[in-house]
Amino acid sequence: MDHKSLFLRKFLYDEGVDPDLRRLIHTVAVGGKYISSLLNAANRKMAGTRNASAEDQLEVDKQADIILQDMITALDYVAEYASEEQETVIKTGNQHGKFSVSVDPLDGSSLIDVNLAVGTIVGIHPVEELIDSGRHMLAALYILYGPLTTLVFTTGNGVHEFVLSPEGEFVLSQKDIKVKPKGKIYSPGGLRSEWTDAHRQYIDDLVETDYKLRYSGGLVPDFNQIIMKGGGLFSYPALKENPEGKLRLLFELYPLAFLCEQAGGMATNGIENILDLKLEKIHQRAPIYIGSKQEVEKAKEYIKTES
């Protein structure tokens, strides 16, 4: 490793990030290392069976949730832990708790058995704001478990990517990542037969203007590709039978919307900005169009014809 490599902890310190927020982000990063090694263990295909010590093999997404819950709730400045894997918010009872943390421990876990990339998504809110909107977020990050394990985060001062080195450190790989006003790739979301007319017309417009289809079925790798390829459009739309779509506002959409806006992009449910949507319940879903401003604005034009 180049001796000038910038580790995550040093980068956060140099950026002047609040010390407790620095420690929380680093704790999540360490949890990501444990999850990365969990995914590389052969036993992931043995879930539902019993290991040598007759312990039940948990699904990896539940194992990932246990890792992150144990590490995050042990921090005395964390007040609440909300997980996509759990029905209710865990209140730590910490007297000095100042952060509420939302976690999608392992998004896309159904893709693991076909060896496709999956990810962890984390949002960090001031304790008094978790169940409100996304506008007060202090930090957002995702960890992508692919050929490399990468961590992409923002604390409201740009978007930066770190890669997990063989030595086990997250090392800065890209600083101040930006999304261009217009991209070349799109992810349409859902089943075509379930799309509304407005969504279908919008996607057909992108196809007719030579956008390339990029869709793995994993939100984190698909969104990461939009960010790292400099732009484009990811969508999971309102569906005829499910007008709220599939993706969860608190656990998935708020963090990615914060990251995308920090990278100069945009995120909407077709009508309002994602970060302005009011959260009424923790497993609330919402449609999403996220990525380059031009594509997202165009989506709003199509969707408003339907509302």
- Give the separation between CA 107 and CA 124, rounded to whole angstroms: 17
Q: How far is the CB of 26 from ligand AFP (least distance, A)?
A: 25
Q: How far is the CB of 193 from ligand AFP (least distance, A)?
A: 12
| Using rule CB under 6 A, residue 62 touches ligand AFP | no
| Using rule CB under 6 A, residue 246 touches ligand AFP | yes
Q: Which residues contact 62 (CB under 8 A, 6 or more apart)?
A: 85
Neighbours of 182 (CB within 10 A): 16
The region of 45-53, 70-78, 106-114, 143-151 touching ligand AFP under the rule CB under 6 A is 106-114
Within its chain, how far is the Cα of 203 from the centroid?
A: 23
Within its chain, how far is the Cα of 286 from the centroid?
A: 14
Pick the closer one to ligand AFP by CB: 12 or 247.
247
| Using rule CB under 6 A, residue 242 touches ligand AFP | no
Q: How far is the CB of 106 from ligand AFP (least distance, A)?
A: 8
Among 63, 109, 150, 235, binds ligand AFP (CB under 6 A): 109
The region of 9-17, 18-26, 104-112, 167-175 touching ligand AFP under the rule CB under 6 A is 104-112
Q: How far is the CB of 113 from ligand AFP (least distance, A)?
A: 10
Among 37, 40, 110, 242, binds ligand AFP (CB under 6 A): 110
| Using rule CB under 6 A, residue 108 touches ligand AFP | yes
SS3 state of residue 205: helix
- Give the separation between CA 149 and CA 117, rounded to whole angstroms: 10
- Give the separation between CA 293 and CA 1, rounded to whole angstroms: 37
In the block, tokens 């289809």 appear at: 213
Among 31, 32, 105, 190, binds ligand AFP (CB under 6 A): 190
Pick the closer one to ligand AFP by CB: 155 or 187.
187
Cβ-contact 98, 79 below 8 angstroms:
yes
- Give the separation between CA 43 and CA 61, rounded to whole angstroms: 13
Of 203-232, which residues contact ligand AFP (CB under 6 A)? 217-219
| Using rule CB under 6 A, residue 107 touches ligand AFP | yes
Nearest alpha-carbon partner for 104 in 287, 247, 235, 280: 247
Helices and strands (DSSP H and E) totals, the chain: 7, 13
Q: How far is the CB of 213 from ligand AFP (least distance, A)?
A: 13
* Residues of this chain that bind ligand AFP (CB under 6 A): 107-111, 189-190, 217-219, 236, 246
